[in-house]
C-alpha cells in the first residue's frame, strides 16, 4: 500500500490519506513541541543551569513524544518517509548530545517537497528554526501544510516560468513560531551544523498572504474611498481566487531573483548592502510579476488580472505601513511605487479620496520596472559604491530622504577611505520616512494590520462570517 501511495504522489496525484491534523498523534506532537520551546535559548539549545529550566529527563521525555508522534503520523505521508526517519535520528542526536545547539542538516537534506509538487499533498514538518518575519529564535517548530500546485500553475511553470524549487503551500496547523506574521518556509532558517551547498526548495504560504491582503485591502479601500473595478472588488472577498493570484505572483517573483542583470536574493546570499538596495530588488521582482501578468492577461490566463491588482494594492496599502521603520525595505518599495504612480498622475489623493487611473496603471507601473532594470544593467559597469549611490538617487527622485541623512548629502559627507560595507553604518534606520499620506493611513490601519498576525484562510473566513 505504501508503494502505491508513494507512486501516486510521485505521479502528481494526491493519495487518499487522512488529514494529519485530525490524527490523535498531531496534538500530542504539537503539545510536546510547545512544551520544549520555552526551554530553548536563542540558538535553540537548552541551558539546564538557567532559571526555570526543566530537569534534563523532562526534556528527553518531551523529545521522545515528538519523535513517537512523527513515527505515528509518517505512514500517512509516504512521500516524506525518508525525511521523517532522518528527523527522528536528528531529534535523538540532539537529546543524546545534551541539547546543545541543534543540528537538523541530515533531515533538511532528506526533505524534498519540490520533488513531489502534487496539488493538495500534505507535509508534516518539524525543525529547529526561526520564522522569517515571525520568531527570530531557532526554536523547535512543527507545521502541517498542503502543497498548492494546480494544473494551470504547473503548466505555466513548465512552459514559461521554470522554477523547479518553488513550492506554493497553505497552512493546516502550526506551533507558536507561525502564530506570527511569517508566511514562508525557507530552508536557510533551519538550525544546521553547516549550510548546504545549495537549497533545493522554498515555500510561501499563499493562504496567509491572501487572507491578510484581503483584510487590509478591504479596510484601506473603505478608509480611502477608493472605487475598485467590480471584478476586483469580488476578488478581494474571495479567498480561493486571491490565493491563486498570490501563488502565481510568488512563483514569478521567486524566479526573478535569479534572472536579469545583477540579480540577488536577499534571503539567499550573505552580503551587506544599504537597505534601499534590498527594497529595489524586492520591488523589481514584484514589478516583473506585474509585467508578466499583463502579458498573461493578453494570453487569456484568468488569474493574470488579479495578480496585477494584488501587486498594486498590497504594495501600496499594506507594505508601507507594516512593521517597524528600521531598514524596512519592503515598506520602502511600497512607498516608491505609490510615489511613482502619484508623480505620473495615475494615483490622485483629492478631497480625502484616493483615485486610481486603472487604464494607465499598467503602462506607468511597467515604466518603474524598466527604470530599476536599467539601474541594474548600468550597475554591471559601476563599482559597488557608485551603484549604491545610483540606487539612492533613483529612490530619492521620488521619496524625500531624512533631513539628517549623510547619504543624502552625497559622497563628500562619507568617509570613502572605509570599505563599502562599513559605510552601511552611516545609513539611518529610516532613511526615507513616511509621507504625510502614509502617516495618516498608518494610524487608521494600525489595528487592522495587527489583527492579521497568525491569520489563516480559516480564521479570516470565521471573522468575516
Q: What is the pLDDT of residue 14?
A: 46
Q: What is the pLDDT of residue 17?
A: 53
- The answer to whether 171 and 205 have CB atoms below 8 angstroms apart is yes
C-alpha cell at 203: 515555500
Q: What's the CA gap between 150 and 302, in Å, rounded?
A: 13
Q: What is the pLDDT of residue 1?
A: 39
Collect the ranges in the chain with pLDDT lower than 70. 1-17, 265-271, 460-465
C-alpha cell at 410: 552625497
Q: How many CB atoms lie within 10 A of CB 383?
A: 10
Predicted TM-score (pTM) of this structure:
0.93
C-alpha cell at 127: 525543525
Q: What is the pLDDT of residue 167?
A: 98
Whose CA is closest to 242, among 461, 12, 13? Answer: 461
Q: What is the pLDDT of residue 264?
A: 75
pLDDT digits 0-9 by tens, 264-302: 766 555 668 999 999 999 999 999 999 999 999 999 999
In this structure, what are the phi and psi dihedrals at residue 185, rounded to the nearest 5 degrees?
Answer: -125, 100
Q: How many CB atoms lie within 10 A of CB 324?
A: 9
- Average pLDDT of the chain, as a whole number: 94
Q: What is the pLDDT of residue 12?
A: 46
Helix residue ranges, H only, 320-406? 329-343, 361-379, 384-396
Q: What's the CA gap between 318 and 241, in Å, rounded?
A: 19
Amino acid at each position: 500500500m505504501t508503494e502505491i501511495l508513494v507512486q501516486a504522489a510521485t505521479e502528481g496525484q494526491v493519495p487518499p490519506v487522512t488529514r494529519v491534523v485530525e490524527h490523535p498523534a498531531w496534538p500530542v506532537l504539537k503539545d510536546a513541541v510547545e512544551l520544549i520551546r520555552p526551554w530553548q535559548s536563542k540558538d535553540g539549545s537548552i541551558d539546564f543551569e538557567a532559571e526555570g529550566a526543566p530537569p534534563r529527563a523532562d526534556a528527553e521525555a518531551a523529545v521522545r513524544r515528538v519523535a513517537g508522534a512523527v513515527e505515528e503520523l509518517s505512514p500517512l505521508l509516504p512521500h516524506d518517509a525518508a525525511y521523517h526517519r532522518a528527523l527522528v535520528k536528528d531529534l535523538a542526536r540532539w537529546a543524546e548530545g545534551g541539547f546543545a545547539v541543534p543540528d537538523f542538516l541530515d533531515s533538511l537534506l532528506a526533505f524534498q517537497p519540490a520533488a513531489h509538487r502534487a496539488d493538495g499533498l500534505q507535509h508534516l514538518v518539524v525543525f529547529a528554526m526561526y520564522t522569517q518575519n515571525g520568531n527570530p529564535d531557532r526554536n523547535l517548530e512543527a507545521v502541517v501544510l498542503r502543497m498548492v500546485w494546480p494544473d494551470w500553475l504547473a503548466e505555466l511553470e513548465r512552459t514559461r516560468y521554470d522554477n523547479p524549487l518553488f513550492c506554493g503551500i497553505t497552512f493546516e496547523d502550526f506551533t507558536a513560531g507561525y502564530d506570527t506574521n511569517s508566511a514562508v518556509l525557507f530552508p536557510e532558517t533551519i538550525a544546521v551544523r553547516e549550510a548546504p551547498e545549495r537549497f533545493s526548495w522554498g515555500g510561501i504560504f499563499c493562504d496567509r498572504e491572501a487572507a491578510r491582503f484581503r483584510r487590509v485591502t478591504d479596510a484601506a479601500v473603505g478608509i480611502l474611498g477608493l472605487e475598485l473595478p467590480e471584478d476586483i472588488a469580488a476578488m478581494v472577498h474571495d479567498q480561493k481566487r486571491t490565493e491563486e493570484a498570490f501563488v502565481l505572483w510568488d512563483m514569478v517573483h521567486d524566479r526573478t531573483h535569479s534572472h536579469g542583470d545583477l540579480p540577488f536574493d536577499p534571503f539567499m546570499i550573505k552580503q551587506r548592502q544599504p537597505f534601499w538596495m534590498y527594497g529595489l530588488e524586492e520591488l523589481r521582482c514584484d514589478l516583473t510579476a506585474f509585467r508578466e501578468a499583463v502579458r498573461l492577461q493578453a494570453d487569456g490566463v484568468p488569474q493574470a488580472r488579479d495578480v496585477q491588482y494584488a501587486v498594486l494594492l498590497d504594495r501600496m496599502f499594506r507594505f508601507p505601513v507594516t512593521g517597524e521603520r528600521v531598514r524596512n525595505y519592503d515598506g520602502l518599495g511600497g512607498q516608491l511605487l505609490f510615489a511613482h504612480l502619484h508623480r505620473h498622475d495615475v494615483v490622485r489623493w483629492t478631497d480625502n479620496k484616493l483615485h486610481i487611473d486603472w487604464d494607465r496603471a499598467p503602462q506607468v507601473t511597467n515604466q518603474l520596472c524598466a527604470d530599476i532594470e536599467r539601474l541594474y544593467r548600468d550597475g554591471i559597469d559601476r563599482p559597488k559604491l557608485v551603484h549604491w549611490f545610483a540606487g539612492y538617487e533613483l529612490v530619492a527622485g521620488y521619496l524625500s530622504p531624512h533631513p539628517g541623512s549623510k547619504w543624502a548629502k552625497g559622497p563628500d559627507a562619507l568617509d570613502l577611505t572605509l570599505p563599502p560595507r562599513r559605510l552601511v553604518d552611516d545609513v539611518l534606520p529610516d532613511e526615507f520616512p513616511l509621507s504625510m499620506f502614509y502617516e495618516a493611513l498608518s494610524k487608521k490601519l494600525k489595528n487592522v494590520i495587527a489583527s492579521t498576525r497568525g491569520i489563516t484562510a480559516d480564521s479570516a473566513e470565521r471573522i468575516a462570517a
